[in-house]
Structures are given as C-alpha cells and as structure tokens.
Amino acid sequence: MPPTDPDTPTGEKGAEEEKVSEPVQEAPKHALPLGSFLLVDYTISVKETGEVVDTTSEEKAKEAGIYDASRLYEPRLAIIGKGMLLRAIEEELLTMSVGETKQFEISPEKAFGQRDPGKVKVYPIRKFRDVEGPLTVGARVTVDGKEGIIRSIGSGRVQVDFNPYLAGKTLVCNVTLRKIITDDLEKVQHIIHNRLPDVDIQKFNIEFAPPEVTITVPEEAYLLPNLQVAKRLIAKEIQENIQGIERVRIVELYTRQA
C-alpha cells in the first residue's frame, strides 16, 4: 500500500522558527525476503458490488455462486516477487505473520487498471453468425482472436468490451498467511502440486540431491493434457527458486503389465 504522504500541510511556521526535519521511516520489524514460499488463503471481491471474483475457500465459493467442481480449494502457493499474486497483495504479505489475517483495498491502478473506452468495439451482428447458441448481454465471445464481453445488442449491432472484466474496479482482499515454507524438499513438492494439482503429491517420488533433483511421475499423470508443459514449468521454477539446484530430471517410468 502507498506510504503516508509526508508533505501533508500542518500550518504555516514563522520565519524565525527552525525547520523540523521529517522523521525517517523505520523499516518493518520483520519483512519476508523476495523468493519466500508462502501458503495463502484469500477472498477477493469487488468493492462497489460485493461480488466475489476469486477465493481459495470452497465454502465462500458456494455462498457466492462461483463454485467450480473441477477446482481444488485450498491455500495457494505464492512465491514473493514471482507475480503469482497481484503485487498489491504481495506487498501486504511481506510484513504479515503466520496465522495473521488482513483486509485491505486495492485500487484499479494496482489491480487491473482503468477501463479504456477505446477497447469497446461495435460490430455488425452478422460477424457472430458462427457463434454457437443465442447472443446475450454478458456473454463472452472471441472476435479476431480477442476475448470480450457483450455489453449491448440492438439495431443489428453488437457492442463488445475487450477491457479486462475487473478493469476500473476497486477490489477488497481478505488474506490469511497460513504457512512459510523453508524446507527445500517441501518447496519442490508445492511447485509440483501447484502445476499438477489433480494428482496426489505423495505419489510423486522425489530425490533431492543438490545440485540435482529427480522427480518420478506416477502413471496416473501420464494422460493429463497439460503434462508436457507442466513438466517444463516445474523444472524451470525449481531451478529459479531453489538455491543450489542446477539440474531437474523428470522421469516417466513405464512398467510391464502382467
């Protein structure tokens, strides 16, 4: 969050009065370093409407009508400085303690920016003749490779807004720091789980022997559609975020069926 403005006027001083120097801001009593591995619970809503747009809580997702049965609701991994959460959220986490909960607002400038009127376009309705199902206000459509939201339909024209859905909105974030992960093997486990959440992390065999990590993938993960991309990202994130690791070996072991 922005620091308090030190230039707030407090009244005129006489010419003979000595100028009082501004107090030096002290550093926080404790601050998490960049690269810290955290597990975080959060709920993010729109200030103006109260609409919940994201949460790690299954209960809150159901209450808000945004529950997704294909999603795993649990504390989320955040590596400070890696952009896994909005920077405004990371800034608050830096001085939080394990178990602490904090609620704060995030301005549009620190979230998804202000709305750009130039990103609202009008198209003839025939442009959407290949779209499946009826066109409705609020529906998401893809036009010329860009995704937008239909804002209005009338007189043979369709208005589509290509601004991010949350552009121009002030967000309210309620965040709880659940855990600070310091063990390197546990960091590897959470990196894998973050990329392949559909498979029990205990089924991965991990050999942690710096400067190398060897990960054996369980057979039930072999048919995941995103496995190859996930493997590359897992290797990259381990090398970038865990000191002393130069090589990551990811093994798919196929055994002969009896």
Higher-confidence position of 24 and 59: 59
Q: What is the C-alpha end-to-end distance of the chain, expressed in Å?
A: 61
Cβ-in-10-Å burial (0-12, 13-18, 19+) of 119 comes to middle
Q: What is the reported pLDDT for 55?
A: 98
Q: What is the residue type of 168?
A: G
Look at the domain 183-258 and name its fold: Alpha-Beta Plaits (3.30.70)
Q: What is the reported pLDDT for 20?
A: 41
Look at the domain 29-114+166-182 and name its fold: Chitinase A; domain 3 (3.10.50)
CB-side exposure of 14: number of CA atoms within 13 Å? 2
Q: What is the reported pLDDT for 146?
A: 92
| pLDDT over 50 at 21, yes or no | no
Higher-confidence position of 249 and 1: 249
Lowest-confidence range among 20-29, 43-52, 80-89? Answer: 20-29
Give the model confidence (pLDDT) of 209-226 as tens digits.
999 999 999 999 999 999
| pLDDT over 50 at 19, yes or no | no
Query: How does the average pLDDT of the chain come out, rounded?
Result: 89
Helix, strand, coil % (nearest 5) of the chain? Answer: 20, 30, 50
| pLDDT over 90 at 16, yes or no | no
**Distance in angstroms (rounded) separating the CA atoms of residues 247 and 53:** 38
The verdict on pTM exceeding 0.85 is: no
Q: What is the reported pLDDT for 132?
A: 77
Q: What is the reported pLDDT for 254?
A: 84
Torsion of CA 238, 239, 245, 247, to 10 degrees: 100
Kindly tell me the number of DSSP H helices and DSSP E strands found in the chain: 4, 12
Q: What is the reported pLDDT for 104?
A: 98
Q: What is the reported pLDDT for 102?
A: 98
Q: What is the residue type of 120?
A: V
In this prediction, residues 13-30 reach a mean pLDDT of 43
| pLDDT over 90 at 9, yes or no | no
The answer to whether residues 53 and 166 touch, using CB atoms and an 8 Å cutoff, is yes
Q: What is the reported pLDDT for 122?
A: 96
Q: What is the DSSP letter of 108?
A: G
In CATH terms, are 29-114+166-182 and 183-258 the same topology?
Answer: no
The answer to whether residues 149 and 167 touch, using CB atoms and an 8 Å cutoff, is no
CATH hierarchy code of domain 117-161: 2.40.10.330
Report the candidate in 173, 180, 236, 247 with the shortest Cα–Cα distance to residue 210: 247
Q: What is the reported pLDDT for 30?
A: 60
Lowest-confidence range among 142-146, 175-179, 254-258? Answer: 254-258
**Distance in angstroms (rounded) separating the CA atoms of residues 135 and 153:** 8
| pLDDT over 70 at 6, yes or no | no
Residue boundaries of the structural domains of the chain: 29-114+166-182, 117-161, 183-258
| pLDDT over 90 at 197, yes or no | yes
**Distance in angstroms (rounded) separating the CA atoms of residues 149 and 160:** 5
Give the pLDDT band (50/70/90) at residue 10. Answer: very low
Percent of the chain with pLDDT over 90: 81
